[in-house]
Amino acid sequence: MVMYWVALLAISILIYLLLDGFDLGVGMLFGVAGSEAKRDAMLSTVAPVWDGNETWLIVTGVIMWGSFPVVYAMVMSALYIPVVVMLLGLILRGVAFEFRGKALRSRWVWDVSFVAGSFAASFMQGAMVGALVEGLQFSNGDYTGGTLGWLTAFSALCGIGLCFGYSLLGACWLVRKSDGPVRDAARRQIPPLAIGVLVFLVVVFAYALAEHLPILKRWTDRPYLLVFPAIGAGAAAMLAKSILVHDDYWPFHMVALIFVAAFATLALSFWPYMIPFVVTIDEAAAPHASLAFMFWGAGLFAFPLMLLYVAVGYRVFRGKTAPVADHH
């Protein structure tokens, strides 16, 4: 039962990363789009799906609270500032999506809040993962690191890294879903973004070595984990090739595969801890009565239906988005 909910939590986080990742990425790239027509075209590629994507964050939150209340309580309270800023960023970009179409003179306000909200949410998500990897201070289950304890050079680096990662995913999404100048611009953005991600990974690895981060030991203990970075490297090679041959379809899938590999590497190097070296999965698990109650309804029936809905939703909107006429 515990393993079932660990799996569902991991799947939900991964779905969230991939889905909201590309639309947050499009949100950040939106800032450098040259013209109103391009911005409209970019928005129309994510418009049908973005708030469905975002609900996976809530799914993640409630699974965590119901199945692993100790971790939910410890992580959310320790990461107070980044969680709040992330939520505000998501709200601002969510409504900006809708309001910019209604605003007349104040459209720039919503354009700014769309870009800024996307950046804030992405950076904070990366920084939170970074803070967990580096290790937050807890004693007796209470966080003792202080209000800004999560903010270190390493976590900031991870925040920037995730901005690059999401932007890369977003650019690949645009290549896949759009045509004309929007696609061409996105394709030109992919190499620098990919290099940015690569540099980030190298720096993170170097930092982890230099600082002797305890999580590094997991990788030397468990060499088989290296299969995931290897998959990531293979996907990166395929990405480079598909960019060179101007393929529209594969870059997104290759970057998604890189994300899956990175997520698997991280998740398995945490194992069996949920908060590294502080709380294990079994210590965090809710009582059996809670897990079983969730399993026999929400887990067994509703969750597969939710997956089905996502699949159907993306199937309905498959293919390139119709080009948006420039009426400005």
Partner 1 sequence: MDPTALLLSRLQFAFTISFHIIFSAFTIGLAAWLTVLEAMHQSTGKPVYRTLFAFWLKIFGVAFGMGVVSGVVMAFQFGTNWSVLSKMSGPIQGPLLSYETFTAFMLEAGFFGILIFGRSRVPPWLYLFSTAMVALGTTLSAFWIMVNNSWMQVPTGYVLQNGQFVPDDWAQIIFNRVVWVRFPHMLLASYLTGAFCVAATGAWYLLRRTYRAEAHVMLRMGLALAAVLLPVQLFIGHLVGDYVHDYQPAKFAAIEARWHDEQPASEVLIAIPDSSTESNKYAISIPVLGSIIGSMSLTSKEVGLTSFAPQDRPPVAIPFFAFRIMVGCGFVMLGLAWLGSWLGLTHRLDRSRLLLWGIFLSFPLPWIAILTGWYTAEVGRQPWTIYGVLRTADAVTPFLTASAAMASLILFVAVYAFIFSFGTYYIYRLLRAGPAGLGGRPRHVPVPNRPMSLADQVPAARSYLEAGE
In the complex, what is the shortest distance from the CB of residue 299 to partner 1, in angstroms, rounded to a whole number? 8
**What CA–CA distance (Å, rounded) separates 137 from 277?**
10
Do residues 319 and 32 lie in contact, with contact meaning Cβ atoms separated by under 8 Å? no
User: Rounded to the nearest whole angstrom, what is the least distance from the CB of residue 289 to partner 1 in the complex?
Assistant: 5
- Residue tagged 């499009």 (tokens): 26
Q: Which is nearer to partner 1, 139 or 220 (CB)?
A: 139
**284: helix, coil or strand?**
helix
SS3 of residue 213 by DSSP: coil
Between 44 and 152, name the residue whose CB sits nearer to partner 1.
44
Give 137 or 246: the residue with its C-beta nearer to partner 1. Answer: 137
| DSSP annotation string for 79-126 | THHHHHHHHHHHHHHHHHHHHTTT-STTHHHHHHHHHHHHHHHHHHHH
Nearer to partner 1, 73 or 216 (CB): 73
Q: Residue 316: how many CB atoms within 10 A of its CB?
A: 9
Q: Which is nearer to partner 1, 87 or 204 (CB)?
A: 87
> To the nearest whole angstrom, how small is the minimum distance from the Cβ of residue 245 to partner 1?
31
Considering the complex, what minimum distance in angstroms separates the CB of residue 327 from partner 1? Answer: 9
d(CA 197, CA 82): 22
**What is the identity of the amino acid at 5?**
W
In terms of CB distance, is 157 or 286 closer to partner 1? 286
Q: Closest approach of Cβ 233 to partner 1, in Å?
A: 35
Q: Is 320 helix (H, G, I), strand (E, B) or coil?
A: coil
Residues in contact with partner 1 by CB under 8 A are 40, 43-44, 47-52, 54-55, 57-59, 61-67, 69-70, 72-77, 79-81, 83-85, 87-88, 90-92, 94-95, 97-99, 101-102, 141-144, 147, 286-287, 289-290, 293-294, 297-298, 302-303, 305-306, 309, 313, 316-317, 322, 324
- Least gap, CB of 216 to partner 1 (angstroms): 29
Question: Letter for the amino acid at 88?
Answer: L
3-class SS of residue 326:
coil
